[in-house]
Homo-oligomer: A and B are copies of this chain.
């Protein structure tokens, strides 16, 4: 059964502006392993913004409760390139309280926008 869904769009120029104006922004919202490819190189703006959008989409799918911590929801990439979620702490607690056991996530970007879309199933 579907418990919640979420979509989020992020304008890349606005995201890059946040990164430039707030030097702590990126580390606050993304963990270090989210910021890098598996070979250690830094992800580009579209990829970083997509991960940020995914976290917003996850929060919406949970009903956007207060108390969620950015680092408690990580958007990682399988060897095949498929994105997947790894949740812990505050996000895991809310998900458990809603009996969510499976997450589906998809990311896309083009034309200056990154979009994430999430479904949470029990």
Q: Which residue of B lies closest to A117 (CB)?
A: B7
Write out the residue numbers on chain B whose beta carbons fall within 8 Å of the beta carbon of A10: 110-111
Are B63 and A80 touching (Cβ within 8 A)? yes
Binding site for B on A (CB under 8 A): 1-2, 4-14, 56-57, 60-61, 63-65, 80-82, 102, 104-113, 115-117, 119, 121
Give 15 CB contacts A-B under 8 Å: A1-B121, A2-B2, A2-B121, A5-B104, A6-B106, A7-B106, A7-B117, A9-B111, A57-B108, A63-B80, A63-B82, A64-B80, A64-B82, A111-B113, A115-B115
**Alpha-carbon distance between A109 and B56 when the two chains are bound, in angstroms:** 12
- Considering only CB atoms, which chain B residue lies closest to A116 in the complex? B7
Assembly CA distance A105 to B105 (angstroms):
16
A29 to chain B, nearest CB (A): 15
Which residues from B are CB-within-8-Å of A117? 5, 7, 117
* Alpha-carbon separation in the docked complex, A86 to B46 (Å): 31
Q: How far is the CA of A121 from the CA of B4 in the complex (A)?
A: 12
